[in-house]
Amino acid sequence: MIETRALTKHFGRQPVLRGVELSVAPGEFVALMGPNGAGKTTLLRILASLARPSFGAVRVAGLNLPAEAGEVRRRLGVIAHLPLLYGDLTAEENLRFYARLYDLPNSEARLAALLERVGLAARRRDLVRTFSRGMQQRLAIARGLLHDPEVLLLDEPYTGLDPLGCALLDEVVRERSAQGRTLLMITHDVAHGFALAHRSVILARGQIAFTARRDELTPDAFARQYAAIVGG
Partner 1 sequence: MRPSSAGEGQALPGQPARPAASGALAAAGAYWRAVSAVLWKDLAAEFRSRELLSAMLVFSLLVVLIFNFALQLDRVARENVAAGVLWVTAVFSGTLGLNRSLSQEKDRGSLDGLLLAPVDRSALYFGKMLGNWLFMLVVQAIILPVFSVLYNLPMLLPLNLVVVLLGTLGYAGVGTLLASMAVHSRSRDVMLPILLLPVAVPVLVAAVQASGGLLEQRAWDEISQWFSLLIGYDVIFIAVAFMAFDYVLEE
Of 10, 45, 124, 188, which one interacts with partner 1 (CB under 8 A)?
Answer: 45
Supply the minimum distance, in Å, between the C-beta of residue 189 and partner 1. Answer: 22
Give whichever of 25 and 50 is closer to partner 1, judged by the CB atom: 50
Residues 6+ apart with CB under 8 A from 111: 92, 95, 96, 99, 146
Of 26, 37, 87, 180, which one interacts with partner 1 (CB under 8 A)?
Answer: 87
CA dihedral 65, 70, 74, 75 (to 10 degrees): -20
Can you tell me the distance from the alpha carbon of 223 to that of 159, in angstroms, rounded to the nearest whole number?
A: 21
Give start and end residues of each alpha helix (H) in 55-180.
Answer: 69-75, 91-101, 108-117, 133-145, 163-178
Of 51, 151, 203, 208, which one interacts with partner 1 (CB under 8 A)?
Answer: 51
Can you tell me the distance from the alpha carbon of 111 to that of 80, in angstroms, rounded to the nearest whole number?
A: 20
How many distinct helices (H) and strands (E) make up the chain? Answer: 8, 10
Which of positions 137-176 make contact with partner 1 (CB under 8 A)? 143, 147-148
Q: In three state form, how does the secondary structure of 38-53 look?
A: CCHHHHHHHHCCCCCC
182 in contact with partner 1 (CB under 8 A): no
Of 41, 107, 182, 200, which one interacts with partner 1 (CB under 8 A)?
Answer: 107
105 in contact with partner 1 (CB under 8 A): yes
Give whichever of 39 and 209 is closer to partner 1, judged by the CB atom: 39
Of 71, 162, 170, 189, which one interacts with partner 1 (CB under 8 A)?
Answer: 71
213 in contact with partner 1 (CB under 8 A): no
Q: In three state form, how does the secondary structure of 116-145 look?
A: HHCCCHHHCCCEHHHCCHHHHHHHHHHHHH
Element (H, E) at 190: helix 190-196
Give whichever of 143 and 199 is closer to partner 1, judged by the CB atom: 143
Cβ atoms within 10 A of the Cβ of 59, count?
17
Supply the minimum distance, in Å, between the C-beta of residue 74 and partner 1. Answer: 4
Give whichever of 148 and 214 is closer to partner 1, judged by the CB atom: 148
Of 12, 36, 106, 232, which one interacts with partner 1 (CB under 8 A)?
Answer: 106
Strand-by-strand arrangement of the 55-60 sheet: 14-24, 2-11, 55-60, 63-65
102 in contact with partner 1 (CB under 8 A): yes
178 in contact with partner 1 (CB under 8 A): no
- Positions in the binding site for partner 1 (CB under 8 A): 45, 48-52, 68-71, 73-74, 76, 78, 80, 82-89, 93, 97-98, 100-107, 110, 127, 143, 147-148
